[in-house]
Structure 1
C-alpha cells in the first residue's frame, strides 16, 4: 500500500459508504488537519489544499509546522524483552538500532496491509 503524500505530509484516508464521501487527515503529526471529498480527484485537491492551508496558517501565527517524525524513538520496555532483543540483534550480526528498525518496519508493513 502506498500512502498519499504531499510536501512530506502523509494522509490517512477512509471512505464512509453511508454518506458516500472520502475523508482523511494528515497523519504523523499531533495537529489535527482533516479534509474530505466525494471523488478521488477532489480528495487529492482537498488534501493538497489542507496541507497548504496548514503551512500558511502556521506561518501567519509564527508557529513552526509539525513535520513527520524525526526518526528518533525512545522506548521503555521490560528488561527481559530488552535482553532478548539485544541477543537477537547480536546473533543476526546487527546493532540493536539496525535490528529494531528492520523488525519495526516489517511489522508496520504487515499491519498496514
Structure 2
C-alpha cells in the first residue's frame, strides 16, 4: 500500500492485478471519493481531479469539505494499558498527551 497527498488530502493507493489498474480513495473523509487509472502518472492526475472535483462539489451544494482532524483523539483502552502509558509518560518527564502524541507519531511513520 502507498499513499498520495494533494491540497491537504491523502489517498490510499492499491493495485488490482486482475484489472491491471491502480485505484485509490481519499482517506479521512466520510464522503466516498475514489479514482483509478492505468499508470502512476494518470493516477496522480486522477487523484488531483478527484480532490478538485470534491472541493467544487462541496462549494456548489454549500457544504464545507471535510479536510482535517481537530487534534482531539478519544481512545478507549484497558485500565492496565492506561496505567502503563501514564507511568511511561511520567517516567519520561512528559504529560500523557505529549507522550501519547510522540508514540502515535512513531507508530504512524
Q: TM-score, normalised by structure 2?
A: 0.92
Map of 1:27 onto structure 2:
27
Structure-2 residue corresponding to 1:72:
72
Displacement of 1:2: 7.4
RMSD: 1.6
- Name which of structure 1's ranges 75-84 and 63-72 shifts more when overlaid on structure 2: 75-84
Pair 1:2–1:15, CA change in 2 (3 A):
closer
CA–CA distance in structure 2, aligned partners of residues 68 and 16 of structure 1: 29
Structure 2 unmatched runs, 5+? none
The alpha carbon displacement at 1:6 in A equals 0.7
1:17-60 per-position Cα deviation (integer Å, ceiling 9, x unaligned):
11110000101111110000000111011000000000000001
Count of residues in Structure 1 that have an aligned counterpart in Structure 2: 109
Q: Is the 8 A contact 2:24 2:36 kept in 1?
A: yes
Which aligned segments of 4 or more residues in structure 1 are displaced greater than 6 angstroms?
Answer: none
